[in-house]
Structure 1
């Protein structure tokens, strides 16, 4: 994962502190969390201390095992939030082909919204999400093919799709332009 912001080290430290707090709230040891998440105890400890920059896939495994939305690991508590495209937290995965910008998360951790960018002629294969999670994606610019449980759907600008996100799904951009999406994850945790 590549986190881009004004102070990436600060984000990694905040992520680690949030993970440690959430783990302790659930009364789990590092060993317990390692067992249920499939992420090594050493790696989890390094994340909590802010000594490593975890992958998106790793963070999905941890959030899923804690039964929390992914962005709960990055949460801030302000009453008014503004999300500006291209500024703030940016998380890159798959060699930079897929970049997400968290937009908003509701206070009850029931949903979160991202702005996602898929680079030209590339694909992104996310981890399966939490049980009972619905993913809604709207194409803001470009054309994309979204594969859900081996069914392909081609979406153009302003088209939207909704599906159960705890199954296999992927995003493919077969064009020469960046595709921009708004993605909402609705958790049934």
Structure 2
């Protein structure tokens, strides 16, 4: 997950506590969840105890196996949510080629919104999302190529696209500037 140093321990503990609560609510053992998610029992235990910093790919596998939105693992209970660009939780990818900033999640876990930064001449190949998930993307700055099931789409500033996110898709920034996207995930029932 590799988050900013100031918040890393707090977020790791929050994710661990949320995972343990969700697992117990579903009456799953660590072994059961390991079989469902493909994440080792030892790693799941370490995540729950806040002893490891899981990757975003690992968290996608866990959330998919529990049929919950990714942000349910980061949830907190407060009434007003303010998201400032570059502040709060930031999840950088391998080699700092991309950064995801969770913005909002609605209360019944049907929708999540992210701010996404993709560095120049970089690409991002996310895990497939939950079944019946739709991804909505708006380019806030820059230009990007988005591939969905082997079809390529070029989007410029303020262009938007939506597509089924439970299939393969990728983001490619062939330019020399950072691309900023707003991404909404809408989970189907």
Q: Which category of TM-score, normalised to the shorter sequence, fits these structures?
A: over 0.9
Match of 1:109 in 2: 109
Match of 2:62 in 1: 62
Count of residue correspondences:
189
Shift of residue 180, structure 1, vs aligned partner: 0.3
Q: Whole-Å Cα distance in 1 between the matches of residues 64 and 5 of structure 2?
A: 25
Q: Whole-Å Cα distance in 1 between the matches of residues 185 and 22 of structure 2?
A: 20
Contact in 1 for aligned 2:7/2:89 (Cα 8 Å): no
Give the stretch that moved more between structures: 92-101 or 164-173.
Answer: 92-101
What aligned pairs does 1:66-145 form with structure 2 within 5 A after superposition? 66-145=66-145
1:36 has 2:40 as partner? no
1:4-31 Cα distance to aligned partner (Å, 9 max, x none) = 2632101101110000001111111100
Change (3 A) 1:5 1:113: farther
TM-score of the two chains, using structure 1 as the length reference: 0.98
Give unmatched runs, 5+ long, in structure 1.
none
Shift of residue 79, structure 1, vs aligned partner: 1.1
Shift of residue 96, structure 1, vs aligned partner: 1.4
* CA RMSD, 1 decimal: 0.8
Q: Whole-Å Cα distance in 1 between the matches of residues 23 and 96 of structure 2?
A: 29
Q: Whole-Å Cα distance in 2 between the matches of residues 85 and 5 of structure 1?
A: 17
1:160 has 2:177 as partner? no
- Structure 1 runs, 4 residues or longer, greater than 4 Å off: none
1:19 has 2:19 as partner? yes
Contact in 2 for aligned 1:5/1:88 (Cα 8 Å): no
Q: Whole-Å Cα distance in 1 between the matches of residues 16 and 62 of structure 2?
A: 12
